[in-house]
Structure 1
Amino acid sequence: MNHVARLQSSAEFGSIYERARLILADGWPVVRLAKSLGAGISGRSTGSGITYTLAHTYGGGHRVFLVGGSTPASLEAAAAVFRENGWLVESEQAPMGWLGSADNMRELAARVAAFGADLVLIGVGSPLQERVAVSLLSAQGVTAVLMGVGASIDFIAGETARRAPKWMQRLGIEWLHRILTDPGRLLKRYVGDVVPFLRVVRQSHANSE
């Protein structure tokens, strides 16, 4: 829902979406809107779910580059899970502000290219992770699949307390759990997303009539 809301006001974010080869619905409001408009979509495809599946599926020597993690220790713990399942792993924790440097971004792109990454999972939050993906997409020698995965690296590291219980995920109220665990950051964001998202709902149904 946050992405739908942001797309209404950010030309930059819209240009990033135009570069994407695959867009998945991570959020029940978006899924329900899509279904109401007749889209053939069965449910959410969450970054955390996809990352978990990848980390626990035999990698067969494929190369994954992890960008993010709240601490160096959590990043290394996540990398260890991938390695245990047959992935070759390189990583960059990218602490706060690190990705704001053009030199650091060039260094990251060079490392991704030199590693020959098949997959880059970027878990530094939106819209920064989308900006990083576009930068890597345009970098020489980078041929990997690039995916924004939010807090998924920390989840893989075992910091499961930050994710909603399974029953909340099934009921589609994971957003409530996130607000309760980080109200200072997320309450304002979620509330601010509601009005622009409802405008999109109304306009979408009007256009479909």
Structure 2
Amino acid sequence: MQSNGIAKDPVIQRQHFLNVPFDIIKFDDVVELIAATRNADGFRYVVTPNVDHVVRLSAHAELKPLYEAAWLTLCDSKPLVLLARAMPLKLPRVTGADLTACLFGTVVKDGDHIALVAPNEAVVARMRAKFPRLSIGAHVPPFGVGNNPAELAKCVDFVVREKAAFTFLAIGSPQSEKIAHAIAMDGRAVGTALCIGASLEFMTGMKRRAPRWMSRAGIEWVHRLATDPKRLWRRYVFSVLPLLRLTLAEFRQRRTARVPASR
């Protein structure tokens, strides 16, 4: 479903894996596509689901339309890539952190106007210090904005007013996705919005990403758990069984689909 008026490149194939949509498009092609459409009419948004998103969607089906309506939905998880490969399904990995850093290094140009929906004022200050040649508009919504219609409407109005080429929604999931979907449904905004989690904090040095070798090995979650155990241990522990159930169900479904019907 494309509600934003921007046609998806016809060569991009959208697959559903673990009941979540994913676009089969490589990192460089994502960057090229975003660059090529930066002046397109209308509004579009990009989501980057990982294991946490997948498990949440399995329990809250009402969130699935937020992902189905996205212009691009990109896999931000090496464990999901490895699970997909066992199906077999080739799922490219495009992390929100890597994509954000690349866009600021290539597609976002000096003098551009961008908009931030940020977790706090410190992130905004760091971004303005790091990119003094950009015009940066910012809005810091209160905690729980995703369940507060009045505050959600303020986020929509902010993005509409800014008319930015790029909007970075950096307040975590599913708040960022709810805001992006609400903007798309409103119909007045322009530009490309990206739901990119803590990417701005990584880029400004406020948080440290896992070493590259851990990311390549698919154990980036170990680094995150070690740096924030009180907040994350429960999330990771309680994600294991739902993810296992979803994977087994996916495998059975795909195996059944491959078996020819008996005559």
Decide: shared fold, TM above 0.5.
yes
Pairing 1:173–2:222 present:
no
Q: CA deviation at 1:170?
A: 2.1
Q: Is 2:74 the partner of 1:16?
A: no
> 209, 215, 235: which one pairs with 1:189?
235
Supply the AA of the counterpart residue of 1:91.
Answer: A
Q: Does 1:90 align with 2:137?
A: yes
Q: Is this contact kept in 1: 2:116–2:139, CA < 8 A?
A: yes
**Could you tell me the TM-score, scaled by structure 2's length?**
0.70
SS in 1 for 2:151: helix
Q: After alignment, is 188-197 or 59-68 more displaced?
A: 59-68
> How many corresponding residue pairs?
204
- Say whether 1:134 aligns with 2:134: no
Q: Which amino acid aligns with 2:126?
A: A
**1:164-207 CA distances to partner (integer Å, 9 max, x unpaired)?**
12222222111011111111111111111111111111111112
State the 4+ residue runs in structure 1 displaced beyond 6 angstroms: none
User: Which secondary structure state, in structure 2, belongs to the residue aligned with residue 8 of structure 1?
Assistant: helix
The C-alpha deviation readout for 1:129-156, integer Å capped at 9, x for no partner, is 1111111222241122222111111112
2:124 maps to 75
Conserved 8 A contact 1:75-1:154: no
Q: Is residue 94 of structure 2 the alignment partner of residue 45 of structure 1?
A: yes
Cα distance, 1:83–1:57 mapped onto 2, change above 3 Å: farther
Provide the aligned C-alpha RMSD in A.
2.1
Return the TM-score normalized by structure 1.
Answer: 0.87
Q: Per the alignment, do residues 189 and 2 of structure 1 end up closer, same or farther by CA in structure 2, a change over 3 Å counting?
A: same
Cα distance in 1, alignment partners of residues 187 and 70 from structure 2: 18
Aligned residue number for residue 154 of structure 1? 201
Q: Once the 2 structures are TM-superposed, how far is the Cα of residue 82 of structure 1 from its aligned partner?
A: 4.1
Corresponding position of 2:103: 54
- Cα pair distance change 1:204/1:102, threshold 3 Å: closer
Secondary structure of the corresponding residue to residue 94 of structure 1: coil
For 1:58 and 1:156, locate their aligned partners in 2 and report how far apart those are by CA, in whole Å.
Answer: 16
Larger radius of gyration: 2
Q: Distance in 1 between matches of 2:220 and 2:79?
A: 12
Structure with more strand by fraction: 2
Other-structure match for 2:245:
199
Is the Cα–Cα contact under 8 Å of residues 145 and 175 in structure 2 kept in the other structure? no
Q: Secondary structure at the match of 2:216?
A: helix
Corresponding residue SS for 2:59: coil
Could you tell me how far apart the structure 1 residues matched to 2:56 and 2:198 are?
19
- Residues 68 and 95 in structure 1, CA contact (< 8 A), matched pair in contact too: no
Runs of 5+ in structure 2 lacking a partner? 1-50, 256-263
Deviations along 1:8-50, whole A, 9 cap, x unmatched?
Answer: 11022122222222211111111112222232334x2111111
Report the identity percentage. 32
**Deviating more after overlay: 119-128 vs 131-140:** 131-140
